[in-house]
Chains A and B, each alone.
Chain A
Amino acid sequence: MAVGDGREELGGKAQGLLSVHQTLTELDQSSFPEIKLDIPKLTVLGTSIFEAFIQRNGLQDIAHSGLSDARIANAFQRGDMPFEALGELRALSTTWTTPLAVRSSGLLEDQTQRPFAGVYLTKMIPNNQPDPDTRFAKLIEAVKFVWASTFFKIARDYCQATGLDICQEKMAVILQEVIGCRHQNRFYPELSGVARSYNFYPLRPAKPEDGVVNLALGLGKTIVDGGRCWIYSPAYPEMPPPYDSTEELLKETQTDFWMINMGEPPEFNPIKETEFLQIENLMTADKDGTLFHLASTYDPQAERMMIGTGSKGIRALTFSPLLVMKDIPVNALIKRMLASCEAKLGCPVEVEFAMTFDPPRFGFLQVRPMVVPEGDLKLTAEEMQDPNALASSEVVLGNGVDDSITDIVYVIPELFDLKNTRPMAEELEAHNRRLLDEGRSYLLIVFGRLGTEDSWLGIPVTWGQICGASVIIEATQQNVKVELSQGSHYFHNIINLGVKHFSMPFTSPFRVDWDWLLKQPVANAIHYTRHVRLEKPLHIKVDGRRGRGTIHHS
Chain B
Amino acid sequence: MSLVQDVISRLQEKDSGQPEFLQAVQEVLTSLEPTAEKHPDFVKAKIYDRIVIPDRAILFRVPWVDDSGEVQINRGFRIQFNNAIGPYKGGLRFHPSVNLGIIKFLGFEQIFKNSLTTLPMGGAKGGSDFDPKGKTDNEVMRFCQAFMRELYRHIGPNTDVPAGDIGVGGREIGYLYGYYLKIVNANNSVLTGKGLEYGGSLIRPEATGYGAVYFAAEMLATRGQQISGKSAAVSGSGNVAQYTVEKLNQLGAKTITLSDSNGTIVDEAGIDAEKLNFVLDLKNHRRGRMSEYAEIYKVPYFADKTVWEVIKEQNLKVDMSFPSAHENEIHKAEAEAMVRNGCTCVSEGANMPSDLEAVQVFLDNHVLYGPGKAANAGGVAVSGLEMSQNAMRMSWSREEVDQKLQVIMKNIHASALEASEEYGCKGNYVVGANIAGFLKVAKSMLAYGIV
Contacts and interface: CB of A to CB of B under 8 A. Distances in A.
Nearest to B138: A238
Given A255-B286, A303-B193, A482 B133 contact: no
A303 B171 CA distance: 7
Residue of A250, A315, A454 ringed by the most chain B CB atoms within 10 A:
A454
B171 A240 contact: no
Nearest to A418: B19
B169 A324 contact: no
Given A242-B134, A454-B97, A483-B96, A236 B67 contact: yes
B95 interface: yes
Secondary structure class of chain B's binding surface, majority of residues = loop
B204 A301 contact: yes
Contacts of B195: 301-302, 304
A404 to B, nearest CB: 30
Interface in A239-257: 239-246, 250-251, 255
A124 B96 CA distance: 46
B288 A239 contact: no
B196 interface: yes
B67 A238 contact: yes
Interface residues on A, range: 35 or more
B170 interface: yes
A2 B328 CA distance: 64
Contacts of A303: 164, 169-171, 173, 193
Contact of B136 (A239, A281, A302): A239
B102 A456 contact: yes
Contacts of B284: 300, 314
B285 A246 contact: no
B133 A488 contact: yes
Interface string B160-171: 000010110111
A419 B174 CA distance: 35
Contacts of B68: 205
Nearest to A462: B261
A436 interface: no
Interface string B202-222: 001100000000000000000
Contact of B133 (A243, A314, A419): A243
B23 to A, nearest CB: 8
B153 interface: no
Residue of B23, B137, B196 ringed by the most chain A CB atoms within 10 A:
B137
B275 interface: no
Contacts of A244: 133
Interface in A258-305: 281-283, 299-305
Interface in B170-215: 170-171, 173-174, 193, 195-197, 200, 204-205
B297 to A, nearest CB: 18
B135 interface: yes
Given A282-B286, A314-B285, A422-B328, A242 B196 contact: no
Contacts of A229: none
A499 interface: no
Interface of A: 203, 205, 236, 238-246, 250-251, 255, 281-283, 299-305, 314-315, 324, 418-419, 422, 449, 452, 454, 456-457, 482-483, 488
10 contacts: A241-B134, A281-B288, A302-B170, A302-B174, A303-B171, A304-B195, A324-B137, A418-B19, A454-B95, A457-B96
